[in-house]
C-alpha cells in the first residue's frame, strides 16, 4: 500500500534562511506527487506537483521540489523564507486509473522566527 512520510512534525527557521521539508513515499510505480500548504483556518492550497519529466519542479510562492526516485523522496525547498510562509505543509501521493486517490502525509508545521 502506498504511504507518505514526513519525518519532521515541526521545523523552525529564521526569516531569510533557506528551508527544506522532507517527504518520503512508498509506491510501486511512478507516483504523482504534490505539496500543499495550509494556513490556519484555511483549506489546502497546491504549491506544486510532479507527474513526469524534469525532476526539479517549480511552484508558487518561490517554492521548488526535487523528485529523487532512488531515494523515494520529494523534498520541498525555498531559498529564503518569509514570515508569511509560516503554515502547515503536506506532501501527498496520488494513484489511480480513471480517477485518483490521494494519500497525504501527516504534515510539517513551519514556524518562522524574526
The single residue among 25, 35, 63, 90 that binds another protein, judged by CB under 8 A, is 90
Contact 35, 63 (CB under 8 A): yes
The single residue among 25, 34, 63, 74 that binds another protein, judged by CB under 8 A, is 34
> What minimum distance in Å lies between the beta carbon of 20 and another protein?
19
Classify residue 80 by its DSSP letter: S
Residue spans of alpha helices (H) in the chain? none
CB under 8 A: which stretch of 17-25, 56-64, 73-81, 96-104 binds another protein? 96-104
**Secondary structure of residue 60 in the 3-state scheme:** helix
Q: Which residue's CB is nearer to another protein, number 41 or number 114?
A: 41
Contact 68, 50 (CB under 8 A): no
Cα 1 to Cα 76: distance, rounded to the nearest angstrom: 23
Site string for another protein, 2-21 (x = CB under 8 A): --x----x------------
H/E stretch holding 94 reads: strand 87-95
Which residues in this chain contact another protein in the complex, by CB under 8 A?
Answer: 4, 9, 32, 34, 36, 41-46, 49, 51, 90, 92, 94, 96, 98-102, 104-107
Amino acid at each position: 500500500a502506498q504511504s507518505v512520510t514526513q519525518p519532521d512534525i515541526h521545523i523552525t527557521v529564521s526569516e531569510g534562511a533557506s528551508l527544506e521539508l522532507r517527504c518520503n513515499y512508498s509506491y510501486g510505480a511512478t507516483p504523482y506527487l504534490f505539496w500543499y500548504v495550509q494556513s490556519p483556518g484555511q483549506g489546502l492550497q497546491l504549491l506544486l506537483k510532479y507527474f513526469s519529466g524534469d525532476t526539479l519542479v517549480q511552484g508558487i510562492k518561490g517554492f521548488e521540489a526535487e523528485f529523487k526516485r532512488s531515494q523515494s523522496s520529494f523534498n520541498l525547498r525555498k531559498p529564503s523564507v518569509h514570515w508569511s510562509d509560516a503554515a502547515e505543509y503536506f506532501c501527498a501521493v496520488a494513484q489511480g486509473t480513471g480517477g485518483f486517490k490521494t494519500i497525504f502525509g501527516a504534515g510539517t508545521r513551519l514556524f518562522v522566527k524574526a
